[in-house]
Copies of this chain bind each other. A is one copy, B any other.
Amino acid sequence: MLTVFGSTALDTIRTPEKTLKDVLGGAATFAAISASHFIKSGLIAVIGNDFPKKYHNILSKYLDLEGLVELDGKTFRYDGKYDKTLSTRKTLKTELNVLANFKPTVPESYKKSKFVYLANNDPDQNISIIKKFDNVKFSMCDTIEFWIQTKRNSVIKMIKSVDAVVINDEEAKLLTKEHNLIKSAKKMMEWGVQYVIIKKGEHGSLFFFEDVIFPSVAFSLENVVDPTGAGDSFAGAMIGYLAKMNNTDLSTIKKSIIYGNVLGSFAVEKYGLDGLLNIKKSDITKRIKQYEKMVKF
């Protein structure tokens, strides 16, 4: 099984076309539900006692919730607004609420997870959580600007302590102080991580392992309505596919990245989580085939 540790949120998302208020979101929610299309996924996260029943039902439909903790207080809330091109998002408000004092623990039944995804949490928390698993075969983490700015040394320590880091391009540059993404990835590998995946949004991603570079394009879409969670869906699909195959050889990882691109594309086609819900195995397989046909020359 796969364990995902990270945030579950109530998001307010403002796009040029539409504003969604207090919808189900959070990095771990996107990653775990994306992964659940491949493998049984457990979620370690916290919600407040205001968390709507209907969202709890969605989570329980897709995920194992033994690791989901409910605390007195309000659920973590995020409010962000996209510009008219949907390419940049401005944070209007972040309310940590119950997340502020959450002390995550790993349920016994999750400790045997061979695949673990640590979303963009406090790096010190990620470092301590990963140690609680008995027999990890492949661990992967993400991070965000906030932690790079406030806890850069812990971020570096976290990167050392996992097998793979998935990070977006601007954050990779900020973290490593390198403009060139190959140099940036090399620096992270020098810090002690084996695999680096740099996400470039609509431009796809770059994967690095030893002297291998595998660039891949995003699935081309004409109608993008809400980019929220695309990168988390990418990472979730990647590790979900690896867990399903129970294999981390190079060709399986490359394939997992294609799955990442495809799940990311489902995520941005609809608002909030809707793009990841109600997709069938056959929809994923069909889009994988379209992707393969699209990039062939």
A residues adjacent to B (C-beta < 8 A): 84-87, 179-180, 182-183, 186, 200, 203-204, 206, 213-218, 220-224, 251, 254-255, 257-258, 294-297
Contact = CB atoms under 8 A, between A and B. Distances in A.
A179 B86 contact: yes
Contact of A182 (B206, B215, B221, B254): B221
Contact of A217 (B217, B223, B296): B217
Contacts of A257: 297
A212 to B, nearest CB: 8
A255 B251 CA distance: 24
Nearest to A224: B180
A27 B214 CA distance: 31
A213 B203 contact: no
B220 A294 contact: no
A182 B200 CA distance: 18
A214 B182 contact: no
Given A215-B295, A297-B254, A297-B257, A206 B179 contact: no
A206 B220 contact: yes
B297 A214 contact: yes
3 interchain residue pairs of minimum CB distance: A203-B203, A254-B297, A215-B217
A259 to B, nearest CB: 11
Contacts of A221: 182
Contact of A183 (B222, B254, B295, B296): B222
Given A85-B179, A179-B86, A213 B206 contact: no
A214 B295 contact: yes
B222 A294 contact: no
Contacts of A180: 222-224
Contacts of A87: 179
Contacts of A255: 297
Q: Which of A214, A221, A251 has the most CB of B within 10 A?
A: A214
A221 B151 CA distance: 30
Contacts of A294: 213-215
